[in-house]
Amino acid sequence: MSKAADFVSSVYQAVLTRNPGEREFHQAVHEVFSSLTPVIERHPEYAESAILERICEPERQIIFRVPWTDDHNHVHINRGFRVQFNSALGPYKGGLRFHPSVLLGTVKFLGFEQIFKNALTGLPIGGGKGGSDFDPKGKSDREVMRFCQSFMTELHRYVGEYVDVPAGDIGVGAREIGYLFGQYKRLTNKYESGVITGKGIGWGGSRARTEATGYGVVIFAQEMLATRGSSLDGATVLVSGSGNVALYAIQKAQQLGATVVSASDSQGSVYDPDGIDFDLLREIKEVERGRISEYAARRGGRSQYRAGRTVWSIAADAPADVALPCATQNELNAEDAAVLVKAGVRAVAEGANMPSTPEAVHTFQKAGVLFGPGKAANAGGVATSALEMQQNASRDSWTFDYTAHRLEQIMTRLHGSVRQTAEEYGHPGDYVTGANIHGFQLVADAMLAQGVI
């Protein structure tokens, strides 16, 4: 083992010791560090200035109590988090996740990924993440409002358009963003549009922001396929999830000529060999906030609901060309990956954050499947959030087409940068290595320039 490899390994072991029990955070750090030995060999100044050690330690971690009252006057207590991880490139930027699974380690893993994802966009934004173990499912609008107001009552002390700019994530959509922004405005007596992104179009939001993450992952997949003389036109695509990212990945893939045959939620999946009816799925999930099982019942025809089964199991029975995991972390394991490879999948692009286990990634890469990691493939959402910040700063409003065009430019440029970096370091076609190294170097160089802080 080289001196640089020994150094990277020793820093990783220190991360394990300092952050016990935070397995998702460990996984995210290991995934980045696995690419960095040649970088340290080429740039020993990174080791000399303890860049690795500093980049793994959040600049600030905020944990707070969130008390709220339900519609029956029962008091509930949840826990709120905001991890402000790295501001070398700009104000902290990252979503808020409301889900029962949210723990500090979850938020740290997401925030760590966000550092490099945000850097890859080429826009001036740092990395952060936040959320709560609150579950908005089954809650009335008034209950969600009271929770969001309590959450922002504490969080507002730590955010601002030049400090930290939250956005939505799992469990935090347009409704929640509205309540959060309203409470911030009430507490600060300022109409500070740039303090949060994902806002409504009529009050500072960006056209195409809703669609951006899903559109971006499909654009990235299309760019990967183009390197092998292929495209999404005529392809059969498997999409997991049915939230914001999955919905608009389905729409964009269909616009490019693909047939998307699946969607899912936490209770099961649907298989529709004739192609997902986007309008029906959006009505069920975005408007009615219903379950995926309702899709098959209302769609009819050859559509099937598969209770308790993932979309990846579909590949055991039918061929597929492209997979877009858009649900949640570690949803796609090595066994799933093997099924997808056998089914003929040529490309995988991650719409969710770290949805593929390390073993699954290895399986794809060993089989020669094009693999776009989340920190690159799903960067379109945060890129468009940064565009929303630009519009807010200039008191401007752009058209959908203009914003979508900017998104496509960013994702195309991002793909090219990642691919070029992979080639520069002797790993052509390895988007994991390219994304890790390019994102890391952008942040590391800024940290060097700003001194030991």
385 has binding-site annotation:
yes
Asked if residues 312 and 324 have their Cβ atoms less than 8 Å apart, the reply is: no
**Which of these, 346, 139, 366, 126, lies nearest to 229 by C-alpha position?**
346
213 annotated to a ligand binding site: yes
As given in the structure block, the two tokens for residue 88 are 């070398």
Tokens for 65, please give them. 């109590």
CA 358/CA 26 separation, integer angstroms: 12
CB 372 within 8 A of CB 380: no
Tell me: is residue 342 an annotated ligand-binding position: no
* β 347-349/322-325 pair status: parallel
Distance CA(379)–CA(356), nearest Å, equals: 16
Q: What are phi and psi of 357, to 5 degrees?
A: -70, 160
Q: Which two tokens stand for residue 238?
A: 């498997």
Distance CA(302)–CA(291), nearest Å, equals 19
- 144 contacts 136 by C-beta, under 8 angstroms: yes
For residues 423 and 41, give the distance between their C-alpha atoms in angstroms, rounded to a whole number.
Answer: 17
| Cα–Cα distance measured from residue 166 to residue 90, given in angstroms and rounded to the nearest whole number | 13
DSSP for 39-99, please give it.
HHHH-HHHHHTTHHHHHTS-SEEEEEEEEEE-TTS-EEEEEEEEEEEE-SSSSEEEEEEE-
Q: Is 168 annotated as a binding residue?
A: yes
Burial of 452 (0-12, 13-18, 19+ CB in 10 A): exposed
449 contacts: CB under 8 Å, gap ≥ 6: none
Q: Which residues are catalytic?
A: 129
CA gap 120, 435 in Å, rounded: 7
189 is in an annotated binding site: no
Check: CB of residue 58 under 8 Å from CB of residue 99. no
Binding positions for NAD(+): 213, 244
Binding positions for substrate: 93, 114, 117, 168, 385
Binding positions: 93, 114, 117, 168, 213, 244, 385
